[in-house]
Amino acid sequence: MTTKSVVAEVREITLAIELIELGARLQLLEAETNLSRDRLIRLYKELKGASPPKGMLPFSTDWFMTWQPNIHSSLFHGIYRFIDRHGGANGARSTIRTIVKSYRLYLEHVALYGDEPVLSLTRAWTLVRYFESGMLQTNTCTRCGGRFVAHAYDLRAGYVCGLCQPPSRAGKTRKALASRNPPERAPRIAA
């Protein structure tokens, strides 16, 4: 092995480790690195202590259109666009490196406001691929001026985002309701 090939392999392994630590699925690792499937599985098991999850990657744009995922996807995509234009990575694997930088900033932003991340790294990667293939676009909200993820070729006139006009059940999950209204304690019965 030449020094150049060793350095290239170390870069691939480093990228794979970073992606695994951020929660990447095996299919993403296979698409973005030149490492063999067997090697990726061994690396995943070594880092996570378990086999990678099985199953197909998300393949529908509809998930990104639901209320909360749309807000988080739009936030991530805005960060991604900014980094890609002003501070994106150069050279080989620049797209995945820009996705990783953007995803780390997304996680920091969500944690700053005490929220749980809705978007996984695999979903973020899929989102970028949907934009690159022309399946998704952004629409500008007529009220707040924010740019939100939308299906390609959706009508743009009069678009109002999910933040300005949330659906009637928005934020009314069982978990949110439970945190606002803790269950009452049952009275103790004296013996």
* pLDDT at residue number 175: 60
Residue ranges of the annotated binding site for Zn(2+) are 141, 144, 161, 164
Residue 176 or residue 147, greater confidence: 147
* pLDDT at residue number 79: 96
Q: Which residue has the tokens 């999950």?
A: 173
Percent with pLDDT over 70 in the chain: 85
Give the CA distances from residue 43 to residues 22, 25, 114, 159, in Å, rounded to whole numbers and listed in that order.
14, 12, 32, 45
Asked if pLDDT for residue 190 goes beyond 70, the answer is no
Residue 155 or residue 61, greater confidence: 61
Percent with pLDDT over 90 in the chain: 69
Tell me which DSSP letter residue 165 carries: S
* pLDDT at residue number 40: 96
Asked if pLDDT for residue 180 goes beyond 70, the answer is no
Lowest mean pLDDT among 89-98, 101-110, 117-126, 140-149: 89-98
Residue ranges of the annotated binding site are 141, 144, 161, 164
Average pLDDT score over the chain: 87
Give the dihedral of Cα atoms 62, 67, 70, 72; nearest 10 deg: -140
* pLDDT at residue number 8: 86
Quote the tokens at residue 97: 């490196």
* pLDDT at residue number 187: 44
* pLDDT at residue number 26: 94
Query: What is the per-residue pLDDT across 47-61, written as a single tens digit (0 to 9) for each?
Result: 999 999 888 877 889
Q: Give mean pLDDT, residues 138-155.
A: 93
pTM of the predicted protein model: 0.83
* pLDDT at residue number 154: 82
Neighbour count for residue 80 (Cβ, 10 Å): 23
**1-22: b (≥16 Cβ within 10 Å) or e:** eeeeeeeeeeebeebbeebbeb
Q: Give mean pLDDT, residues 103-123.
A: 95
User: 186 falls in which pLDDT band (50, 70, 90)?
Assistant: very low
